[in-house]
Amino acid sequence: MGWDFETDPEYQEILDWVDEFVREEVEPLDYVFPHKQFDPMTPEMRRIIDPLKDEVRRRGMWATHLGPELGGQGFGQLKLALLNEILGRTLWASVVFGCQAPDTGNAEIIAHYGTDEQKAKYLRPLLDGEIFSTYSMTEPQAGADPTLFKCRAHKDGDEWVINGWKYYSSNAKTSTFLIVMAVTDPEVSAYQGMSMFLVPTDTPGVNIVRNVGLFGEPINEGYHALIHYDEVRVPADAVLGGEGQAFAIAQTRLGGGRIHHAMRTIGWAQQALDMMCERALSRDVAGSKLAEKQFVQGFIADSYAQLIQFRLFVLYTAWEIDKYNDYKKVRKDIATAKVVMPTVLHDIAWRAMQVHGALGVSNEMPFLSMVAGAGVMGLADGPTEVHKVTIARQVLRDYEATDGMWPTEWIPGKIEAAQQKFAHVLDLEVGNL
Ligand SMILES: Cc1cc2nc3c(=O)[nH]c(=O)nc-3n(C[C@H](O)[C@H](O)[C@H](O)COP(=O)(O)OP(=O)(O)OC[C@H]3O[C@@H](n4cnc5c(N)ncnc54)[C@H](O)[C@@H]3O)c2cc1C
């Protein structure tokens, strides 16, 4: 029997330390340096944050998703899931633990596809937490359907020249390099005709035109860049993983990114449920505590049920990734976790907000950012609808059409088959009468 829902005691001890460390030491960063986790560190920030990172390293918990050859522990995805659900409660925690999006996914593909020179130049400082990186794939006119991408790179002597537009390139304003997906051969199918380039952000011609923000952030001060690549020249060896490999690389990149978001979302949704329960037990209305009202009990029960199903499914999917060591084999379940995630977060945050009354919709509680976060989760790394199509296609692979007029489970057909199967006995019974 291989099923086991227990965390091994040694790792549980580490998780208990992480839980306390995040609550006591990391969560306060969200209030002194709000939304600054991808900004270059000021000396003041360094004085506070560097010792926290050192402590994480000392405990062996820095970048644990990576193998030992890259400075991590090689813990794999299941242990990362148990860690990430704790880190997901705060904005700063994944940066302090060296496993923040989008850098984890970017590091993964450089580790997998990069040359030794590319690894030395980009991967090492990324893993050391000294720089940030950007994944620049979506374009203003196309996101969900990459076959419509237009950003083009052509060869000129020993160089590639990149021209085009990219949209929602997260953290470009503070990142040191960009991974840019561009059409290199328009004559073949998009699946073979695009390549990935490693481009230092300060290369002439990389023009950040706007820094798009999310709901509530000031215009043009967000972290999701609209970039115009205008005659951007990079050397021939800036190609990542070989010409025409962009699609294959993107699948590796996005598989990991999607499940990591799901892991962190467990923690965020749990935080909403915790707040809902605390408020329900604390607030009196119409002669009793909110916790005694059946509507509120329904909110709590539905939220718990959604969260526990989601959590177990994400842990199972992480376990599958470790087992197969191949995102493609787990594509259906990664897509399923991705599809379920926004609804779970939205529903629980929405109910928690409602239980808090007017305070809940104020900017003094985090519920509306959670609800907006659910919207983001339904789009970042691909929209829900596209993932549903993937799930359905994969599910349908295990089925075949019937030849005849009636479905296999048609009851009259089943009765006839059963009567035929036992005809010899049934005939005897009849004969005895
Ligand atoms: C916070 C955030 C961060 C992001 N960071 C990055 C980043 O770092 N790098 C990057 O390259 N991109 C990034 N993105 C972009 C993200 O990957 C795209 O938004 C996503 O792929 C969808 O593309 P789109 O926005 O152009 O929507 P569109 O492609 O225009 O799709 C719009 C809607 O159409 C529907 N739809 C689309 N295709 C189908 C279909 N086949 N069947 C049915 N319905 C469909 C869906 O409802 C979809 O939401 C980020 C997005 C967000 C919100």
Distances (CA, A) of 392 to 266, 274, 312, 333: 24, 34, 21, 11
At residue 430, does pLDDT exceed 60? no
Instruction: With respect to residue 414, please indicate whether it lies within any of the assigned structural domains.
Output: no
At residue 53, does pLDDT exceed 70? yes
Q: Is 379's C-beta closer than 6 angstroms to any atom of ligand 1?
A: yes
At residue 390, does pLDDT exceed 70? yes
pLDDT for the residue 74? 81
Instruction: With respect to residue 415, please indicate whether it lies within any of the assigned structural domains.
Output: no
Report the residue among 149, 261, 341, 386 best suited for mutation to probe ligand 1: largest number of ligand atoms under 8 A from its CB: 386
Q: Kindly tell me the burial class for residue 330, based on how many C-beta atoms sit within 10 Å of its own C-beta (0-12, 13-18, 19 or more).
A: buried
pLDDT for the residue 426? 83
> What tokens does 310 get?
């989601």
Per-residue pLDDT, averaged over 159-186, amounts to 97
Same-domain check for residues 88 and 211? no
DSSP sequence for 186-239: TTS-TTTSEEEEEEETTSTTEEEEEEE--TTSPTT-SSEEEEEEEEEEEEGGGE
Same-domain check for residues 51 and 147? no
Same-domain check for residues 278 and 198? no
At residue 431, does pLDDT exceed 60? no
Indicate the Cα dihedral angle 42, 48, 51, 55, nearest 10°: -130
Q: Is 382's C-beta closer than 6 angstroms to any atom of ligand 1?
A: yes
Tell me the pLDDT tens digit for each residue of 130-152.
899 999 999 999 999 999 999 99
Tell me the pLDDT tens digit for each residue of 343-354.
999 999 999 999
How many domains does the chain fold into?
A: 3
Instruction: With respect to residue 315, please indicate whether it lies within any of the assigned structural domains.
Output: yes
Of the candidates 384, 388, 319, 382, the residue with the CA atom closest to the CA atom of residue 346: 384
Same-domain check for residues 252 and 231? no
3-state secondary structure of 177: strand
**283-313 in b/e burial notation, b at 16+ Cβ within 10 A?**
eeeeeeebbeeeebeebbeebeebbeebbeb
Atom in ligand 1 nearest the alpha carbon of residue 375: 53
Atom in ligand 1 nearest the alpha carbon of residue 134: 8
pLDDT for the residue 260? 92
At residue 2, does pLDDT exceed 90? no
Amino acid at 1: M
Instruction: With respect to residue 55, please indicate whether it lies within any of the assigned structural domains.
Output: yes
Per-residue pLDDT, averaged over 4-25, amounts to 96
Protein residue whose Cα sits closest to atom 40 of ligand 1: 386
Count of CB atoms situated within 10 Å of the CB of 245: 17
Report the residue among 139, 170, 265, 376 best suited for mutation to probe ligand 1: largest number of ligand atoms under 8 A from its CB: 170
Which contiguous run of DSSP H or E holds residue 165? strand 159-170
Report the C-alpha gap between 339 and 141 in whole angstroms: 23
Same-domain check for residues 66 and 170? no
Instruction: With respect to residue 121, please indicate whether it lies within any of the assigned structural domains.
Output: no
pLDDT for the residue 433? 47
How far out from the chain centre does Cα 20 lie? Answer: 24
Calculate the average pLDDT of the chain: 94
Residue-range definition of the domain harbouring residue 169 = 133-240
Give residue 328 CA to ligand 1 midpoint distance, Å. Answer: 21
Give residue 135 CA to ligand 1 midpoint distance, Å. Answer: 14
At residue 238, does pLDDT exceed 70? yes
Report the C-alpha gap between 260 and 338 in whole angstroms: 10
At residue 381, does pLDDT exceed 60? yes
Report the residue among 106, 136, 137, 168 best suited for mutation to probe ligand 1: largest number of ligand atoms under 8 A from its CB: 168
At residue 429, does pLDDT exceed 70? no
Same-domain check for residues 89 and 228? no
Protein residue whose Cα sits closest to atom 31 of ligand 1: 144
Tell me the pLDDT tens digit for each residue of 304-338.
999 999 999 999 999 999 999 888 899 999 999 99
